Amino acid sequence: TDLESKLIARTRTMGPYKASTIIDFERGDPLEMNSLFLEPLKQAKEAGIETPLLERLTLILAELQGRQDRSK
């Protein structure tokens, strides 16, 4: 669609940037685990789609979040 084309074109000209998850982690803010990782993982499982990388990433991020929470 036209919107998709515009978004892709804009992304290509943005230059380097950090993902919001990295920014949150560096600031010590809570990670958006539910909306960005857990819900997509749940929906994939419900659809019968295997997502081994997303599963592993979710486990790693949950561990990092837990460590960060415990250090406060």
Q: What is the pLDDT of residues 9-55, one digit of tens each?
A: 998 898 888 999 999 999 999 999 999 999 999 999 999 999 999 99
Tell me whether residue 68 is exposed, middle or buried, using C-beta atoms within 10 angstroms of its C-beta: 0 to 12, 13 to 18, 19 or more. middle
pTM score of the predicted model? 0.74
What local confidence, expressed as pLDDT, does residue 24 receive?
95
On the question of pLDDT at 1 being above 90, the answer is no
Q: What is the DSSP string of 22-36?
A: HHHHHHTPPP-HIII
What local confidence, expressed as pLDDT, does residue 6 receive?
93
What local confidence, expressed as pLDDT, does residue 26 receive?
94
Q: In whole angstroms, give the CA distance from residue 28 to residue 67.
A: 11
Amino acid at 52: P
C-alpha dihedral (33, 39, 42, 48), degrees to nearest 10:
-120
